[in-house]
Amino acid sequence: MIDQLTVFLGNTEGRLTALCKALGDAGIQMHALALADTADYGLVRIICDNPAKAMASLGEEGFAASLAKVVAVEVPNVPGGLAQVFGVFDGTELNIEYCYCFADARRSAIVALKTGEGAIELLTNAGFTVLHPDDLYAA
């Protein structure tokens, strides 16, 4: 499982800049950022090179930051690749709460999934490459 940084952010001017600046000042390198927004607030989900340090720095700056466990899976670089990944969950009890895609230099595409117990086993058995924390950051 990957430690994802989640930040609760007011939907007001300058907050996203302030967040990214705080991470930059702490020397944090981001791999992925996805924003779930509502009229009043947003949840910013971030995969970065040092989630524990990022959370501590943001806490000091007064952000509401926490860590959540997500599964990161390599997506086959073919049309329908993402559908193949999601297809694994069909007919199981597992639900995908949210997901977002990103890329890194070594892989074509990665999808981060917030789901339940047993997802890693399910994906691995189906032949997908599930990333370890040390693939993305110094765990």
**Angle at CA 34, nearest 5°, toward 68 and 67?**
15
Supply the minimum distance, in Å, between the C-beta of residue 90 and other proteins.
Answer: 22
For residue 59, the SS3 value is helix
Beta strands in the chain (DSSP E): 2-10, 30-37, 41-48, 64-74, 98-102, 110-114
Q: Which residue, 20 or 67, is less far from other proteins as judged by CB?
A: 67
Q: Which residue, 18 or 84, is less far from other proteins as judged by CB?
A: 18
Identify the residue among 21, 24, 36, 101 touching other proteins (CB under 8 A): 36
Site for other proteins in 43-102 (CB under 8 A): 43, 45, 59-60, 62-68, 97-98
CA 103, CA 40: separation in Å to the nearest integer?
29
8 binds other proteins, rule: CB under 8 A? yes
Identify the residue among 3, 6, 33, 119 touching other proteins (CB under 8 A): 6
Give 100's contacts (C-beta < 8 A, 6+ positions apart). Answer: 32, 34, 45, 111, 112
Q: Which residues bind other proteins (CB under 8 A)?
A: 4, 6, 8-10, 12, 15, 36, 38, 40-41, 43, 45, 59-60, 62-68, 97-98, 114
